[in-house]
Amino acid sequence: MMTRPYSLDLRERLVSTVLAGTSARAAARVFRVGAATAIRWVERWRAEETVAARPIGGSRGTPLDGEEAWLLALIVEQSDITLEEIHSRLAERGVQVAVSTIWRFYDRRDISFKKNRSRQRAGTPRRQGSARSMAGKPTLA
């Protein structure tokens, strides 16, 4: 279960107290909220003149949104590229993200990096072929 945001009334009273001359930390103690929370509310009031809660959840975007065309062209150009290679090429472009962020970018577009027959995955030497199916085998009763 997700928590609810603090009430607008509490936010407004805290900001009014700070604007009247109290420090954000002292107001936070009075209203029993975290100091960082009070400081954020006051900063938001000064920047946007609102302390209303922002929507919870939803997509905030990713640093890769601006690189979409380049990333899609990259895998067309070099279909056997790995996520690690993409990661290093992004770093050369000045984009610092985790490999998991790159994977999620391609996953949202239904692009997979699984090996296929033309790019055989290395396996153990003992295993030659796939396991046989048990379907249609006689059972002991």
How many domains are contained in the chain? 2
Q: Which two tokens stand for residue 45?
A: 């009031």
pLDDT in tens, 39-60: 999 999 999 999 999 888 777 7
pLDDT at 55: 84
**Residue 86 belongs to a domain:** yes
**Residue 88 belongs to a domain:** yes
pTM score of the predicted model:
0.47
**Residue 116 belongs to a domain:** no
Closest CA to 44 of 8, 1, 93: 8
Task: Specify the higher pLDDT residue, 50 or 131.
Answer: 50
Q: Is the pLDDT of residue 115 over 70?
A: no
**Residue 93 belongs to a domain:** yes
Contact 81, 74 (CB under 8 A): yes
Q: Which two tokens stand for residue 37?
A: 């929370």
**Residue 129 belongs to a domain:** no
- Tokens 């002292």 correspond to what residue? 26
For 95, the domain range is 63-108
Residue 13 sits in the same domain as residue 43: yes
**Residue 53 belongs to a domain:** no
Q: Is the pLDDT of residue 110 over 80?
A: yes
Contact 14, 27 (CB under 8 A): yes
